[in-house]
Amino acid sequence: MRKTTTGAIARLVGGRLVGGATGEECVHGKASVDSRVIDSGDLFVAFEGEHVDGHDFVSAAEKAGAAAALVTKTDQALALPAIQVEDPLAALDILARHELESARASAEPPIVIALTGSNGKTSTKDLLHAILAPVGETIAPVGSRNNELGLPLTVLELTETTRFLVLEMGARGIGHISHLTDIARPDVSVVLNVGSAHVGEFGGVENIARAKGELVEALEESGTAVLNADDARVKAMGTRTRAHLAHFSLNDSLAEAYADHVRLDALARASFTLHMGGSELPIALTLTGEHHVKNALAAATAASAVGVRFEEIAAGLNAAEQRSPGRMQVSELPKGVTLINDAYNANPDSMRAGLNALAVLGRERHTIAVLGEMLELGDESAKAHRDIGAYAARSGIDVVVTVGEGARDIYEGVTETRGEHEGAVYVESLEDAPAVLETLRRPESTFLLKSSNGAGLAKLGESLVRAWGAESTKADNRGEKE
């Protein structure tokens, strides 16, 4: 947040100064709902949740250096100067909108790039960060902060010297992205794909397309819509904006960015030739999975739209590393075991992408797919899970382990395709999974963990990395004693 005062914040959001606030206290850092990541000058936002009350952590925020707090209640002694409001989320929206509008009125306004899509938002955002950060100060937070809370908190990280602001915008219904673009109107809108993520909440894929298209509708005529030419629903969004259109494609050489000569190495990392504006350069990604080629093309097209030179784009893609956890996060463990944690979210499209990457690794290694439930698929859920099981069975993966009752249909799909005892294992609970996976672990094997976040496989993967990784430490300690 650019430098302001508690008084200015109170006037802007219609709040009341409490906790001894004079209105002169200087706020010059970010806004945060987590007292553990507070820095000097930050604004701590105290939400009263169902299980945790942020007001209980105001004192911790004060000790960490927060300048002030945004609160809803004052029935306890406040350790910080504070602004009391009725709705902290609404107050954050107002603050973020004002902050961006003020920044845009400056001599060097930031450029806002917004991304949406059923898959790949976070990975594409991270690739954009790799391209843009060497060019100018870039805000593109680690992880996925694409909802009504995460987006304003990201906007409030703006400084006087920010050049690029990269925002993910997610949706679980019609109007959600419109709300987010009302807070942060994009200069460049990137739509990656229209898939079946959250189809149960949307009520159909066409409604998903309608919702994702709100991102291009928010553009002014001077903006740019970056669209996936290989997705018919996304390409059709070009009719919903007067902004300039720029396309990326794996198949269309007329697109602003396209790739050919795509190859995968033994670790399923893609290399390809990137074509833009009549020029071409080789790209070798360090990320696991062929699907990252499309993400890289989207990032390249968006970067070009904001004036980044082709050579800088190529250099950024070649230098990009895994940044956000839970997305094809590779851990190399003792005994040659590799664990890929891709369990932050899942839908049929991203499941197939992960299984494809594992199948490539299986050309030279023993492969185990550990699959959990895909949430929010509505009436299509049972069929979608069975189809994924059949797909996994046909992919050449050695063992498919399904975890939890919600994933039982995946197991059924595997066994219907492969047979009852041909590399299919069903585990009833997360608690039972570590012991089962231990029996499958052997030298030079690779595990892929894939599920929606709510299924819990991401934490299972983290615990396995700790447990199996600790074996090297024990071995080292034994060696020292000997």
Set out the domains of the chain in order of their start, with CATH numbers. Answer: 4-85 (3.40.1390.10), 91-319 (3.40.1190.10), 329-477 (3.90.190.20)
* Residue 380, pLDDT score: 82
pLDDT band at 306 (very low <50, low <70, confident <90, very high): very high
Is 195 known as a binding-site position?
A: no
Show the beta-strand stretches assigned E in 372-419.
399-403
In the predicted structure, residue 473 carries a pLDDT above the cut 60? no
Give the model confidence (pLDDT) of 409-461 as tens digits: 999 999 999 876 678 999 999 999 999 999 999 988 999 999 988 888 989 99
Cβ count within 10 A of residue 64: 17
In the predicted structure, residue 477 carries a pLDDT above the cut 50? no
In the predicted structure, residue 237 carries a pLDDT above the cut 60? yes
Range 170-178 average pLDDT: 89
In the predicted structure, residue 248 carries a pLDDT above the cut 90? yes
* Residue 52, pLDDT score: 87
**Cβ-based neighbours of 421, under 8 Å, separated by 6 or more:** none
Range 159-187 average pLDDT: 94
**Cβ-based neighbours of 313, under 8 Å, separated by 6 or more:** 131, 274, 276, 299, 300, 303, 304
* Residue 478, pLDDT score: 41
Collapsed DSSP state (helix, strand, coil) of residue 181: helix
In the predicted structure, residue 206 carries a pLDDT above the cut 80? yes
pTM of the model: 0.85
Range 276-305 average pLDDT: 95
**Cβ-based neighbours of 197, under 8 Å, separated by 6 or more:** 118, 119, 208, 345, 347, 349, 350, 376
pLDDT band at 85 (very low <50, low <70, confident <90, very high): very high
Is 212 known as a binding-site position?
A: no
Give the model confidence (pLDDT) of 28-68 as tens digits: 999 999 999 999 999 999 998 878 899 999 999 999 999 99
Higher-confidence position of 347 and 89 = 89
Is 222 known as a binding-site position?
A: no
* Residue 168, pLDDT score: 95
Range 85-104 average pLDDT: 96
Give the model confidence (pLDDT) of 382-392 as tens digits: 999 999 999 99
Range 370-388 average pLDDT: 90
In the predicted structure, residue 481 carries a pLDDT above the cut 50? no
Is 463 known as a binding-site position?
A: no
In the predicted structure, residue 118 carries a pLDDT above the cut 50? yes
Output phi, psi for 250, to 5 deg. Answer: -90, -15
Range 166-190 average pLDDT: 94
* Residue 389, pLDDT score: 94
* Residue 482, pLDDT score: 34
Is 453 known as a binding-site position?
A: no
* Residue 364, pLDDT score: 77
* Residue 267, pLDDT score: 83
* Residue 363, pLDDT score: 77
Of 293, 302, 296, 345, the closest CA to residue 119 belongs to 345
Sequence length of the chain is 482
* Residue 268, pLDDT score: 87
pLDDT band at 326 (very low <50, low <70, confident <90, very high): low
Range 388-407 average pLDDT: 93
Q: How far apart are CA 103 and CA 124, in angstroms?
A: 25
* Residue 480, pLDDT score: 39
Q: How far apart are CA 361 and CA 337, in angstroms?
A: 12
Is 118 known as a binding-site position?
A: yes
Is 63 known as a binding-site position?
A: no
Q: With pLDDT > 70 as the criterion, what percentage of the chain qualifies?
A: 95
Least confident of 70-84, 143-157, 188-202: 188-202
| The two three-digit tokens of residue 57, written as one number | 């952590």
